[in-house]
Amino acid sequence: MRDAAGALGVLDLQGGVQEHLDHLRRIGVSARAVKRAAELEGLAGLIVPGGESTCLSRLLRLFELDRAIRHACDGGLKLWGTCAGAILLAAENLGEAPALGLIDIAVSRNAFGSQMDSFSREILAPAVAQEPIPVTFIRAPKIVRAGAGVRVLLELDGYIAAAEDDRILVTVFHPELTPNLAFHRYFARKCGLEPGGADQSLDPGWTPQSWMRFSHRA
């Protein structure tokens, strides 16, 4: 099993990498970008961010990270897939071959339509936070089936928007694009880490450009 005292990583192939790193650092968790299989060593958890799922799937195979992530997950590494990351982690991708296939869910890709159909809303996920959480949906998938070992954390309008099993968390939206830190705190604790600082959900110092201060160092 992996050492739960380690850092969290964000898969750095394509997509919303820096935004996740910014949120993790805001909750006082050591975090780093992950580009190569060797960089999975010592991590307690890995975020597979949103982006373009077909592109990410090809890059995973090209850099042989698909096999490395599966092996690390078998060894205790926790995973969180957001939007495209949820598609990659799903065991079933309607109309397409699955990528990593690590959690027993079925997803429908681009279920909300085009980029122009993106939207934001507030949700209630009591297992994650008691107060409403703002989230952003960008060309989001829908989780249309959850297996027997999967816990539904959020259901909206007849589809599943967040779910987990003992190893993996999936969300079809982007918590990293809002000032809310609740899901990042939830994932850190799922990984056996205790976030530092005040246990607040909203960071008043956050702006949509906050991640840029880390982009040259990550």
Can you list the domains of the chain with their CATH numbers?
7-213 (3.40.50.880)
Class of residue 149 by CB neighbours under 10 A (exposed 0-12, middle 13-18, buried 19+): exposed
Average pLDDT over residues 12-28: 92
Q: What is the pTM of this model?
A: 0.87
The pLDDT tens digits of the residues spanning 109-139 come to 765 655 545 668 899 999 999 999 998 888 7
- pLDDT at residue 40 above 90? yes
Annotated catalytic sites, by residue? 83, 174, 176
The pLDDT tens digits of the residues spanning 70-102 come to 999 999 999 999 999 999 999 999 978 899 999
Q: With the CA atoms of 210, 48, 147 and 93 taken in that order, what torsion angle do they form, in degrees rounded to the nearest 10?
A: 110
pLDDT at 206: 52
- pLDDT at residue 199 above 70? no
Closest CA relative to residue 143, chosen from 189, 81, 185, 191: 81
* Alpha-carbon gap, residue 139 to 148, rounded angstroms: 27
